[in-house]
Each structure stands twice: as structure tokens, then as C-alpha cells.
A = this chain, B = another copy of it.
Amino acid sequence: MRSQKPTHRGPRDERGVVAARILSVARASFAAYGYAGTSLRSVGRDADVDPGLVIYYFKDKRGLLDAALVPPPGWTEAIATAAAAPMRLRGAALVRTMIDAWEAPASEEFLRSTILTAAHEPIARQRLATNFAVHILDAVSSRLDDDERLVRASLAASQIVGLAMMRYVWKVGALAAMPSDQAIALVAPAVQRYLNGKLTGLDQ
């Protein structure tokens, strides 16, 4: 009358499948409840695994967060590609890249957990500043050549971020309800103007 549940231990993990499952659960939980709101016990429960195993793989709760904030493969390249599109189409390319990332489950998990955890955890914020500022802002601004390229990149990013917040994070308003092609078509011109249009208010 001890344990009726078939507890079978030992190596049955194939190439880190279990670790990947834990990580996926953790990302979802960080995004949904934040860092403090995520417990190793609940992660273990959702991943059908003992909490100790989470720590066995990720060492720490913080280590789990660190792993959750690593961008998925292809992320950097996708941005670089969009930032290198012909100037005429670059605005639309950037917006489309971002929207595609938000609508693919794998990268959506990463984006959501990063953006939402960055709100509360200084570590996540710094990580986002790196992944975001360095990769995105640099990818965009290094492809521009005038004096205001840093400003232009920031402006373009601000519009894309705003779209993501309204459409995917808060899911509020008309932008959240329309098909993605329409959202891209509506927002791309503004981004494009930021990239190579005339800027107001730089001299005063």
C-alpha cells in the first residue's frame, strides 16, 4: 500500500526532450504570472515532472529564467534580413517579420515571456535591452546612413512595439481584431516614413 503510481526513474530523456518541455512550460508561466508568480512546483506539475528535476536541469529559479530569455534560433537572422530589405519595402518587411514572429507559437512564447517579464525583473529588462536594442535597433540603424539613424530606428521600433502591445499583449481595439495583412498594411507606411521620410522637431 505504498505507491500505486508507476514511478519509473532513470534515463528516458531523448536529447533533452524533457528539458525543452520544462522550458516551454516555464516560458508560458513567466508570461502569464511573472517571475515571482511562477513556482518551481507549478512548473514541475505542468510539465509532469518533479520540481527537483527543474533545478537539476536549470540549477536555479533564476537559471530557468535565464534560459527562458534566450532567443530561439533564427531570431537574429530574421531581423537582420528584414533590416536589409530594399529601402522602399523595409518598413513593411520589419513589421511583417515582427507579426510573423508573434504568430508562430515558438517565437511567440519567447517574445511574450521576454516582454512581460521585462516589466518586473531587472535581469529580464537588461536582457531585453540587449536583445532588443542591440539586435533590432542596431540592425535597423546600421543600415541607415544619415545623422539621425539612431532616432529613426527608435521611432520605427516604437511603432512596432506599440502594435505588438495592442494586438498581442493586451488584445485591445481594432488592431487586435483585424487580419494580420491588414495590420501590416496600415502600420507599415508610418514605419517607412520613420526610416527615410522627413523628421520634424530635430532642430530648435
| Residues of A near any B CB (own CB < 8 A) | 32-37, 115-116, 118-120, 125, 128-129, 132-133, 137, 150-151, 153-155, 157-163, 165-167, 169-176, 178, 181-182, 184-190, 193-194, 199-202, 204
Contacts and interface: CB of A to CB of B under 8 A. Distances in A.
A130 B182 CA distance: 25
Chain A interface mostly = helix
Contacts of A182: 201-202, 204
A150 B173 contact: yes
9 contacts: A33-B36, A34-B37, A119-B119, A132-B170, A133-B173, A150-B174, A155-B187, A159-B162, A190-B193
B184 A37 contact: no
Contacts of A190: 155, 159, 190, 193-194
B120 A120 contact: yes
Contact of A166 (B125, B154, B175): B154
Nearest to A149: B174
